[in-house]
A and B are shown apart, each in its own frame.
Chain A
C-alpha cells in the first residue's frame, strides 16, 4: 500500500474519504499528500485544544503549526495501540504543556503540593453540578469561565474533557501523581461551578 500508490495517482484516484489507516500508513512514508490529509481532518480539533490550553490565539496558532510540522517525524512513533485522534491530541497537549513550561523557564506547569495530594472535601457545602446548557450564549460563558481558570485547574480540565485523556495519561503528561490529577479536576469543577453561579447572579 505504502509503495503502491504514487502521489500523482493518489491525487486522481482518491475516493471521497480514504480510510484513516491507509492515510497514516502513507504519512509514515513521508507522503506529503497524506500529511496534508491528516492536517485537513484534524487541524480544527488540534487548534481547539491549543486554544483552550493557551491564553492567546496567536500562541495557539503557533502551537498548532508546530504540532503538524513535527508530525512528519513524530508520526513514526505512532504504534496504533490507541486511536489516532486520541494520540494526536495527546501530542498536541504535550506541545501546549511544553509551551506553558517554557514560559515558566523550565519549571513544572503544575507543582504538586504534597499534603494536599488526596483531599476529599465534604460535598454538602459545595455548589451542585452545572446542568445541561443548550444555547450557545451559555456555552460561550462556560468557555470564558474555563479560560479564566488558573492554569493548574484549566490544563487538567481541558485535557480530560477536550482531549478525553484518562487520569493516568494526564498524570503522565503533567508529571503528577494520579490522585493529585483527580483532585485537581474535582476542584477545577467546583471552582467552575462557583464562578458560573457567581456570574449568573
Chain B
C-alpha cells in the first residue's frame, strides 16, 4: 500500500481524521516503518509545541505576580514615594521658615495674590490669542465633535452599563435648545437703541452693552462693559469687567478686575483679582467674593462674605460682614448693619477707624493657621469628609459594581493613568470653553462639567480603594473587602494630605490618577462587546 502524505499524518496526529480513515492509517502504520516514524515525529513535535507555549503562561506571569489587582507599581516605587514624602516633610517647613525677599515674592507659588495674577495673565493670553481663532473655527469643530459623538453612540454597541446609559439619557434630555442669541466679533456691541430679547452670548475682544438685554448676558472677552441694562444675570469671563449700568439679576464674574459702578438687583459672586464696588454702586443683595483686593465704597443691602488679601470698606454693608484674608481696613464712612467678623493672620493688619459704625458684634480673630490639628472641629470635618467619601464609594459600588472595580484596578496602571489624568484635568476646561462657544455645545459643556467635577471627587475613592488593596491584599472581591480597602486607603490619603505643600501635590496626583483611570475605563467600557 502506498504511503500517506505528511498532511494526512498530521491530521491523524491532531485527531482530525474521520474514524474509518484513521483506522486505515493505523493498519498502514503497522506495516510501514517510514510512516510510523513520521507520525511519531509529528507527535513529538505537537507535544513540543504545546509545552513550549504552555511554559509561556508560567514564565510570563511569574515576573509580574498577576494577582486580581494587577499593577505596575512595585513596593520599590512606594518606598521611593515614601522617602520623597519624608524628605519633603523635613525640608518644606524649613523653606517655609525662610523669609523671601519681597522682590522675589512673585516667584513664590504659594502666595495667593501672585497665583491669582498668574492665573489671570495666563488665561488672558490664552483667551486673547485663542478666542478669536476658536470663535471662527468653533462651529466647525463643534459640529465635528457632535457628529463624532453621534457616530460613536450609534456605531458601537454600548455595554449595558447603567451609568453610561443614564449619562446618555441625561445628555439627550439636556439638549433642548435655549432661546439664545450668539454674537462674536472683535468688537461686540449692543447699541443704546437696541433691545436683545433672548439670552445673549457675546464673544469678542471688547463686549459693550449700551442697550438692553432682556435675558442673561454671557460674555467672554478682554473687556466687558455693561453701560445699558441686563434684565437677567451677567456671567462674565474677562480681563476687565465694568458694570456702570444696571444688572437686574446676579453677577457671576471671573475676571482680573471687576468694577461695579451701577446698580445690581441681586447678588454678586466673583473670583477676581481686584474687586471695586464704587460709591455710586448699589448691590440689591449680598456679595460673595474671592479676590486679591476688595474695595467696597458703595452700598450693599445684605451681607458681604469676602476672602481677600486686602479689604477696604468705606461704604455700607446692610447686614454682616465676614472677611477672611490678609488685611482689613474700615474707614470713617464705613457702616456695617450687622456683625463684623474677620479672620486675619496678624492683628496689626486690621484698621478700624473711629468713625466707622458696626451695629453688631465685632469678632476679630487671628487665624491659627499653623496648627489646625489642635481644633476638635478639624477632626470633625475630617470625619465627615471620610464618611462622605465612604458613602459615595459604597453607593458607587452598589450602582456600578463592574465599573468601580475596574476603575480601581486601572489606577494600578500608574504612569498611564497619571498622564492621561493630567491631560484630562487640563484639557476638559478647554474643551468646555470650545463647547460653550459653539452654542449647541452649552448643554454638553454643562454635562461635561458635572461629570468632570464628579470624577474629580470620585478620584480619591478609586485611588483610596486601590491603595487599600495594595496594603491589605484581600483575597476576595466582595463589597465588604472593597469598602475596607477604601477605608484604609482614604485614611492614608488623609494623613498624607496633612503634609504641608506636598499634601497638595499628593492630592493633585490622586486626582490625576483617579481621573485617568476613570477616562480609560470609560473608553474601555465603550468598546464593542465581543460575541461568545
Chain A interfacial positions (CB closer than 8 Å to B): 7, 11, 32-33, 35-36, 39-40, 43-45, 47-49, 51-52, 57, 61-62, 65-66, 69-70, 72, 74, 77, 91, 94-95, 98, 102, 120-123, 126, 128-133, 136, 139, 142-143, 146, 157-158, 160-162, 164, 166-167, 182-183, 185-186, 189
Contacts and interface: CB of A to CB of B under 8 A. Distances in A.
B102 interface: no
B68 A44 contact: no
Interface stretch (B20-28, B52-60, B279-287): B52-60
Contact of B68 (A36, A57, A66, A74): A36
Contact of B531 (A94, A129, A164): A94
A95 B402 CA distance: 18
Nearest to B39: A129
Contacts of B51: 139
B48 A132 contact: yes
Given A120-B5, A129-B44, A139 B52 contact: yes
Given A48-B61, A102-B527, 6 more contacts: A35-B477, A48-B53, A69-B406, A131-B48, A133-B48, A146-B53
By secondary structure, the B interface counts as helix
B41 interface: yes
Interface string B483-505: 00000000000000000000000
Interface string B37-79: 0100110111111111111111011000010101000000000
B426 interface: no
Contact of B55 (A7, A122, A139): A139
A103 to B, nearest CB: 12
B402 A142 contact: no
Contacts of B66: 43-44, 47
A130 B45 contact: yes
A51 B476 contact: no
Contacts of A94: 530-532
A131 B402 contact: no
Contacts of A49: 57
Contacts of A69: 402, 406
A70 B529 contact: yes
Contact of A33 (B44, B49, B56, B476): B476
Given A39-B68, A167-B14, A182-B16, A161 B477 contact: no
Contacts of A122: 5
A98 B16 contact: no
Nearest to B13: A129
Contacts of A65: 70, 406, 409
By secondary structure, the A interface counts as helix
Interface in B356-385: none
B186 interface: no
Contacts of A66: 524
B60 A47 contact: yes
9 contacts: A74-B532, A102-B528, A121-B7, A129-B42, A129-B44, A130-B45, A133-B48, A146-B52, A164-B50
B6 interface: yes
Nearest to B530: A98
A167 B48 contact: no
Contacts of B53: 48, 52, 143, 146, 158, 161-162
Contacts of A47: 57, 60-61, 66
Contacts of B8: 120
B10 interface: yes
Nearest to A121: B7
A77 B49 contact: no
A101 B294 CA distance: 62
Given A7-B478, A44-B57, A160-B14, A133 B52 contact: yes
A98 to B, nearest CB: 4
Nearest to B53: A162
Contact of B44 (A121, A132, A161): A132
Contacts of B57: 44-45, 47-49, 51
B49 A166 contact: no
A102 B477 CA distance: 31
3 shortest interchain CB distances as A-B pairs? A48-B57, A123-B6, A98-B530
Interface string B457-483: 000000000000000000111110000
Nearest to B58: A44
B11 interface: yes
A91 B532 CA distance: 6
With a 10 A CB-CB cut-off, give which of A62, A143, A157, A167 has the most chain B CB atoms.
Answer: A143
Nearest to B403: A69
A24 to B, nearest CB: 15
Nearest to A31: B478
